[in-house]
Structure 1
Amino acid sequence: MAEAMDIVIVASAFGMDAVRAGGHLHWAQASRRAGAAGFEVRRELFAEEADAAPQRLRELGESLAGLGLWAVFSTPASLYTSDGQLDAAALRLALGEATALGARFVKLQLGGFAGDAAGAAIAEQMEGADVRLVVENGQLAEGGSLAQFTGLFDALAREGHADVLGMTFDIGNWAWRDVAPLDAARLLAPRVEYIHCKTTVGEGARRFPVAPAADDAGFIAVLDSLPRNVPRGIEFPFDASRIEADAARHVGWLAAA
């Protein structure tokens, strides 16, 4: 039997409106009952901006730790601006909020990376930070292309800062960019430190995230091409008619897949 690894439930799997209404802690409790080891807090799902204040984040982080969950802090902010410059202010803000939460990972979108990784500047921002920076492949052309990610890691290596950050590999998001996730996995696996798990249905603007089928050989092949010692995050929507049972079933399945 395959060795089980940490499974994270992403807050949005419970539904965006439900998280804004009930709060992250309510759904973190459900995640713990489902058997998850970690919980991904989504900044864009805070009901009000005050939820991102340091004291509120510390309280939430302490509550998560009390449940036995470790945290990911996800922000929709991008590491690079549209003109390709490092957004140092966005990185500082995300680091401060993630640190207040006590998160293990802070996850940003890649944004407009265009060749200059500014690895030394990132390393300076990360100095002394007790949180790991990861960037995620998004659904948009800016920040979602395979060439941007291979270019980023090549640039960081050239600059002598190969280890300053890692990648959140979102299996489903490649569909929006017409990239085969298995091809991307083969190129990016050494840099992957966290996996977002979902597949998609539909096409174009009518494409939606869904749970992988248990017999989805393509999805399993992608998992098999990625590191087994990194956490896997559930980012597909649960069945709203039996949400906690569905969460527990998928936690168990994904841990052993």
Structure 2
Amino acid sequence: MAEVAIVASAFGAQAIWRDGHAAWSRTARRAGAQAFEVRRELMDDAQVQPEALRALGLALAGEGLWRVWSTPDSLYGEDGALDEAALSAAVAAGRALGARFVKLQLGGFSGDAHAARLAALLEQLGARTGEAGDGPRVVVENGQLEQGGKLAQFIDLFNALRDGGAGGVIAMTFDIGNWQWPGEPPLLAAAALAPHVEYIHCKAVAGEGARRFVTAPADDDPLCRAALALLPGHVPRGIEFPFDPARVADAAAHYVEWLAAA
């Protein structure tokens, strides 16, 4: 059975803005989740100060939940350069929260991984690289935009890190649904990137083009099940689709059980 994280947005962005992340931690734990993903875009500036993040981390830990820190910032800027400020800020926030993972978008990576500098900066920041270290593990996620959402970018990234002597310094959050926005085949991506995946986001997608939207997968969802079969079975899986607001607690419990066993 895989560990399951509930992404804060599953409870609804308005609910998180209104109540704060900690208010939903007990619902997550009672649903059977082992982790909670905290979202920077659902917090104001006061909530991301170090003391506030430490307090939130302690509240989530008090419910027995380990933490993921998620930021919409990207590891690489639009010019392809390593964004050292974004990485440093993300790791610092993750450390304050006591996070296991710090998740960024890939961004404008275009061939030069700046491997030596990335490895040195991660060491300086106290991030966990591979099996070494006790700090947060940096993972990059495939996003919904062309930039940072193409399979070739991720293949090139991990190859460049390997060739630069920095293989394994970062890993990947594989979002099953996000591949569909830039038109990439999720199962091909899963087969190609599985060795680098340490965290999975699960969602279904409905609609087409600009009318595409995230939805809960059916219990027999063929894409989610096929992708999970190709990806590492021991890594944590995150619920990143909205729960039915009329029955949040029941829906959370159902999907935690479903995703753990899928």
Shorter chain as denominator, the TM-score bin is over 0.9
Look up the equivalent residue of 1:138 and give its one-letter code.
G
| SS of structure 2 residue aligned to 1:79 | strand
Residue 166 of structure 2 is aligned to residue 169 of structure 1? no
| SS of structure 2 residue aligned to 1:36 | coil
| Counterpart position of 1:9 | 6
Of 29, 51, 72, which aligns to 1:55? Answer: 51
| Counterpart position of 1:88 | 84
For 2:90 and 2:221, the matched residues in 1 are separated by 35
For 1:18 and 1:226, the matched residues in 2 are separated by 32
Query: Contact 1:78/1:87 (CA < 8 Å) preserved in 2?
Result: yes
For 2:223 and 2:141, the matched residues in 1 are separated by 21
| Counterpart position of 1:113 | 109
- Superposition deviation, residue 218 in structure 1: 2.6
**Could you report, residue by residue, the CA deviation over 1:54-78 in whole angstroms, capped at 9, with x for unpaired residues?**
0000000011111100000000000
Residue 119 of structure 2 is aligned to residue 123 of structure 1? yes
Aligned length: 253
Residue 42 of structure 2 is aligned to residue 45 of structure 1? yes
- Superposition deviation, residue 121 in structure 1: 1.4
- Superposition deviation, residue 125 in structure 1: 1.8
- Superposition deviation, residue 217 in structure 1: 2.2
| SS of structure 2 residue aligned to 1:240 | coil
For 1:35 and 1:219, the matched residues in 2 are separated by 20
- Superposition deviation, residue 177 in structure 1: 1.2
Of 219, 224, 228, which aligns to 2:224? Answer: 219
Q: Which runs of 4+ in 1 moved over 6 A?
A: none
Query: Contact 1:39/1:69 (CA < 8 Å) preserved in 2?
Result: yes
The 5-angstrom pairing of residues 1-257 of structure 1 reads 4-46=1-43, 48-127=44-123, 128-129=126-127, 130-257=135-262
- Superposition deviation, residue 184 in structure 1: 0.4
For 2:166 and 2:10, the matched residues in 1 are separated by 34
**Could you report, residue by residue, the CA deviation over 1:84-121 in whole angstroms, capped at 9, with x for unpaired residues?**
00000110011111000000000000000000001211
RMSD: 0.7
| SS of structure 2 residue aligned to 1:241 | coil
Q: Which runs of 5+ in 2 are unaligned?
A: 128-134
Q: Which runs of 5+ in 1 are unaligned?
A: none
Identity of aligned residues (%): 59
| SS of structure 2 residue aligned to 1:104 | strand
For 2:87 and 2:109, the matched residues in 1 are separated by 14
| Counterpart position of 2:132 | none
